[in-house]
Chain A
Amino acid sequence: MTVGLEHYLVVSALLFCLGLLGVIARRNLLVIYMSLELMLNAANLALAAFSRFNGHLDGQVMVFFITTVAAAEVAVGLALIVALYRKRQTAHVEDLTTMKL
Chain B
Amino acid sequence: MQDLFFYLFAFLTLLCAFLVVANPFSRDPVTSAMFLVLTIVSMAGLFVLLHAFFLAAVQILVYAGAVMVLFLFVIMLLDLKEEQRRRFNGFGVVTGVISIAAIAAIFVKAIFESPAPGGDATPTLEGATKPLGRMLFNDYVLPFEILSVLLLVAMVGVILLSKKDLK
Chain A residues with CB under 8 Å of B161's CB are 76, 79-80, 82-83
B33 — which chain A residues lie within 8 A by C-beta?
30, 34
Interface size on A (CB < 8 Å)?
70
* Chain B residue contacts of A75, Cβ below 8 A: 70, 154-155, 158
Query: Is B38 an interface residue, CB under 8 A from the partner?
Result: no
Q: Which of B77, B101, B118 has the most CB of A within 10 A?
A: B118
Q: Is the interface of A mostly helix, strand, loop or mixed?
A: helix
Interface size class of B (residues with CB under 8 A): 35 or more
Chain A residues whose C-beta falls within 8 Å of the C-beta of B58 in the assembled complex: 64, 67
A residues with a Cβ closer than 8 A to B are 2-11, 13-22, 24-28, 30-31, 33-35, 37-38, 41, 44-45, 48-49, 51-58, 60-61, 63-65, 67-76, 78-83, 85, 91-92, 94
B→A interface (CB under 8 Å): 2-3, 6-7, 10, 13-14, 17-18, 20-22, 27, 29, 32-33, 36, 39-40, 43, 46-47, 50-52, 54-55, 58-59, 62-63, 66-67, 70-71, 74-75, 77-78, 80, 83, 87, 89, 92-93, 96-97, 100-101, 103-104, 107-108, 111-112, 116-121, 123-125, 127, 131-132, 135-136, 139-140, 143, 147, 150-151, 154-155, 157-158, 161-162, 166
Task: Please provide the 3 A-B residue pairs with the shortest distance between their CB atoms, ordered closest to farther.
Answer: A22-B21, A13-B107, A72-B154
